Amino acid sequence: MNDNRILIELGSRIKGLLDFKNIKRSYMAEKLDITYNTLTKKLNGEREFKISEIFKMSEVFNMDVKTFLDILLREKFL
């Protein structure tokens, strides 16, 4: 998978979690201390998430970091 496709896939998985957990994107953007527009670009694979944002998202999703990273990175979820 090339880098752009990976970013798109990561964004897609995060979007799925947002929908599943019924978390609004505006709330997530606020928790990440970024604009809604920036979050949208990250979710669409146009920008990368920072490590600190990944950790913060795991807290918002109420997951331990390992579980969250498994969902984002494990091949079986592709």
| Residue-wise pLDDT tens digits, 15-46 | 999 999 999 999 999 999 999 999 999 999 99
Confidence of residue 78 (pLDDT cuts 50, 70, 90): very low
Domain ranges (residues) in the chain: 3-77
Confidence of residue 73 (pLDDT cuts 50, 70, 90): confident
For the domain spanning 3-77, the CATH number is 1.10.260.40
pTM of the model: 0.89
- What residue type is 59 in one-letter code? E
40 to 34, 70, 74, 75: CA distances (angstroms):
10, 22, 23, 24
> pLDDT averaged over the chain?
92
